[in-house]
């Protein structure tokens, strides 16, 4: 932070009593104000960079949770399919019919008898979000992902995340009744006819594998949106960090102008030193305006 400049009274008395003297006397004060403003901008940009980094870390943790769900559900699906293959290889499996599922609702009959799950409708995203997801999902270079992501506003990613989460919740709600029915019939049929129970077990395994596959795809969609948000916040943090550094350089140039202009008041070569100070100050201001508008 630039210190406040106080011009000694004896130096003020040496200043020419004209417009040039007034300009010479006010220059250190103006440069001090500019240096203080640039120091504040540098500090502000650094704070924004730290906030974006912190938010990116939180989002990365959430993305990691969704990746874990995805992997766990894909593994459970594989286990269910392997168990179904073993069951089919070691015994005869009679087709499951609706008459062995008393009081089953339509969704349960469709899932267990006809192998038809409730629809797991994927969320619909903005075209710009889809364009950013394509290089991410295909493991393209980071520069290609960044080029696509720069066109996506944060609000569009937030809306896409809500849509992906809503799709996952809708599928969970649609399968709740089937899951409860499966647990109920598993207990009731286990003590009955073994052929019927094997047919039910095969149907249950097919349903379980298909359900986990659908849920894993929905979790993958959520994880991908989180990954885009992580990258977007990291890119923003890098931008604020660069701006902070450049504002800091502008502050240093302004402080140099303060020192030189102060010397100009005390020295005999006032025109030359003041010109140097004015040049440094003008360069600092112009550079800072460029950074503020374009960096």
**88-113 per-position pLDDT tens digit:** 888 888 888 888 888 889 999 999 99
**265-282 per-position pLDDT tens digit:** 655 555 566 566 667 667
* Six-digit token string for 188: 């009731």
pLDDT of residue 128: 94
Kindly report the backbone phi and psi dihedral angles of residue 139, in degrees, each rounded to the nearest multiple of 5, phi listed first: 55, 45
pLDDT of residue 103: 86
Q: What is the pTM of this model?
A: 0.79
Among residues 21, 47, 25, 29, the alpha carbon closest in space to that of 254 is found at: 29
* Six-digit token string for 217: 């795809």
Confidence of residue 295 (pLDDT cuts 50, 70, 90): low
Contact status, residue 129 vs residue 228, Cβ threshold 8 Å? yes
What mean pLDDT comes out for the span 28-35?
80
Q: Mean pLDDT for the chain?
A: 84
**202-260 per-position pLDDT tens digit:** 999 999 999 999 999 999 999 999 999 999 999 999 999 999 988 888 888 888 877 77
Among residues 31, 42, 1, the alpha carbon closest in space to that of 292 is found at: 42
**137-152 per-position pLDDT tens digit:** 998 999 999 999 999 9
What mean pLDDT comes out for the span 58-73?
95
Among residues 221, 229, 225, the alpha carbon closest in space to that of 73 is found at: 221
Residue 23 has pLDDT above 80, yes or no: no
| All structural domains of the chain with their residue ranges | 19-294
Q: DSSP string covering 4-27, please?
A: PP---HHHHHHS-SSHHHHHHHHH
**Cα(5)–Cα(193) distance, integer angstroms:** 96
E strands of 113-180, at which residues?
none
Q: Choose between 206 and 8: higher pLDDT.
A: 206
Contact status, residue 182 vs residue 112, Cβ threshold 8 Å? yes
**Cα(59)–Cα(71) distance, integer angstroms:** 18
pLDDT of residue 179: 92
| Percent of the residues in the chain that have a pLDDT greater than 70, as a whole number | 81
The CA radius of gyration of the chain, in Å to the nearest whole number, is: 34
Separation of CA 191 from chain center: 52
pLDDT of residue 257: 76
**Cα(5)–Cα(14) distance, integer angstroms:** 17
pLDDT of residue 263: 67
pLDDT of residue 92: 87
DSSP 91: S
């Amino acid at each position: 932070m630039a210190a406040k400049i106080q011009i000694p009274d004896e130096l003020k008395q040496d200043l020419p009593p004209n417009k040039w003297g007034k300009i010479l006397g006010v220059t250190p004060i103006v440069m001090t104000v500019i240096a203080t403003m640039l120091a504040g901008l540098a500090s502000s940009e650094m704070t924004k960079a730290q906030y974006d980094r912190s938010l990116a870390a939180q989002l990365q943790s959430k993305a990691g949770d969704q990746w874990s769900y995805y992997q766990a559900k894909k593994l459970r699906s594989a286990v269910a399919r392997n168990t179904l293959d073993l069951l089919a290889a070691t015994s005869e499996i009679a087709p499951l019919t609706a008459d062995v599922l008393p009081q089953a609702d339509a969704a349960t009959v469709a899932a267990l008898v006809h192998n038809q799950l409730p629809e797991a409708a994927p969320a619909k995203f903005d075209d710009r979000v889809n364009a950013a997801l394509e290089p991410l999902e295909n493991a393209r270079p980071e520069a290609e992902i960044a080029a696509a992501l720069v066109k996506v506003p944060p609000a569009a990613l937030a809306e896409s995340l809500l849509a992906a989460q809503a799709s996952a919740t809708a599928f969970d709600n649609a399968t709740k009744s089937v899951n409860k029915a499966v647990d109920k019939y598993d207990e009731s049929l286990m003590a009955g006819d073994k052929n019927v129970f094997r047919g039910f077990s095969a149907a249950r395994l097919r349903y379980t594998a298909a359900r986990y596959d659908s849920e894993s795809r929905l979790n993958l969609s959520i994880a991908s949106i989180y990954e885009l948000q992580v990258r977007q916040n990291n890119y923003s943090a890098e931008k604020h960090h660069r701006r902070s550094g450049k504002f800091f350089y502008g502050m240093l140039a302004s402080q140099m102008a303060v020192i030189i202009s102060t010397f100009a008041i005390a020295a005999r070569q006032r025109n030359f030193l003041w010109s140097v100070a004015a040049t440094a100050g003008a360069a600092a201001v112009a550079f800072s305006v460029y950074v503020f508008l374009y960096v």
